[in-house]
Amino acid sequence: MFKGKSILVTGGTGSFGRHFCAKVLKMAPSRVIVYSRDEFKQHEMQEMPTFYNNKRMRYFLGDIRDADRLKRAMQGVDIVVHAAALKQVPAAEYNPNEFIKTNVNGATNIVDAALHANVPRVIALSTDKAVNPVNLYGATKLCSDKVFIAGNSYRGNQSPTLFSVVRYGNVIGSRGSVIPLFIKQRDQKHLTITNPDMTRFYITLEEGVLFVMKCLQKMVGGELFIPKLPSCTLGDMAHAVAPNSKQKIVGLRPGEKMHETLIPSDEAHLTIEYKDYYVIQPTLRFWTKSALPKGGKKCPSNFAYTSDNNPDRLTIADIKKHIQHFENYLPHNGTWQNDSPSIIKKSARKKALS
């Protein structure tokens, strides 16, 4: 579906954006537009061998807070992947207005610009922190999710524009991941850790990109897609990175949870389970159950998908494989040297389905 298409990626210079651009370039799009506000990161990206002198790449300086610039950037675009956001949990607690301007108002601008330009498909990246949020970052992403899903109601019968959302957990090796911090602290033989019993969902950058691509093909507008992911404790993550280092427990940061949720029990009645992912259906009028692909089954009314009760758990050996892959990453190349090994175990998927 990407061949000959014009694709715009907001936040295209980030970890996800660069990997997505590198992957989609192999599928013969007409152009790939990186939309971001940092000129230096765009310059760095242009100099990377993966993207250097590639005539299909375009670089638009702009902020998603700027509605007019977004409308200009989306002219003639077929697919929008919205990855731009402010994401640091403690920073959100201290700078709430800035997070609202980017994550909520920016989401509204993207919906309006896509409708104005008749972009056929728009998919937004979300986070487990948007579920029952206790921090401002999560609250702004929950608002963003609602804005994109409701965008399907705004489009009317004549507009071709469809909006959907992808929600997943922590990305191993991304800039916001704890792994780079632990690797840096490993040489000092001293790790700072919030709580060793804390659990998180994990996904690799490769799997995150491939899942978004899959959802772009399946989407009919209105779905919230959630992949089935493994979990692990922060203690196991720290032990895998630096088994010989001492751990200093520093406690939860402002706005942090001990465990994360991808699907709350309140939305179990709207959730459909498939082989390797879930779909949360919207409650808005435009949605019809016939829009769902076949092969799914309704989740039980008491179902919840949480990192502490997840049957799919990463072992320390599993984590070590991904740490080694992360350390082999070539920053100047802009993408992984080889596709990262899968973190999602088929055996665990079967267990989760049974």
Known catalytic residues are 129
> Is 18:12 a contact under the CB 8 Å cutoff?
yes
Please choose, from the candidates 293, 295, 294, 269, the residue with its C-alpha nearest in 3D space to the C-alpha of residue 282.
Answer: 269
Q: Which H, E and C letters describe 88-140, residue by residue?
A: CHHHHHHCHHHHHHHHHHHHHHHHHHHHHHCCCEEEEEEEHHHCCCCCHHHHH
| Spatial separation of the C-alpha atoms in residues 307 and 262, rounded to whole Å | 8
Helix (H, G, I), strand (E, B) or coil at 18: helix
Please choose, from the candidates 318, 279, 312, 319, the residue with its C-alpha nearest in 3D space to the C-alpha of residue 298.
Answer: 279
Neighbours of 191 (CB within 10 A): 23
Give the H or E element holding residue 34: strand 31-36
Please choose, from the candidates 306, 225, 293, 230, the residue with its C-alpha nearest in 3D space to the C-alpha of residue 264.
Answer: 306
Tally of helices (H runs) and strands (E runs) in the chain: 12, 17
Beta bridge partners of 231: 201, 313
Q: Which residues contact 97 (CB under 8 A, 6 or more apart)?
A: none
> Is 166:212 a contact under the CB 8 Å cutoff?
yes
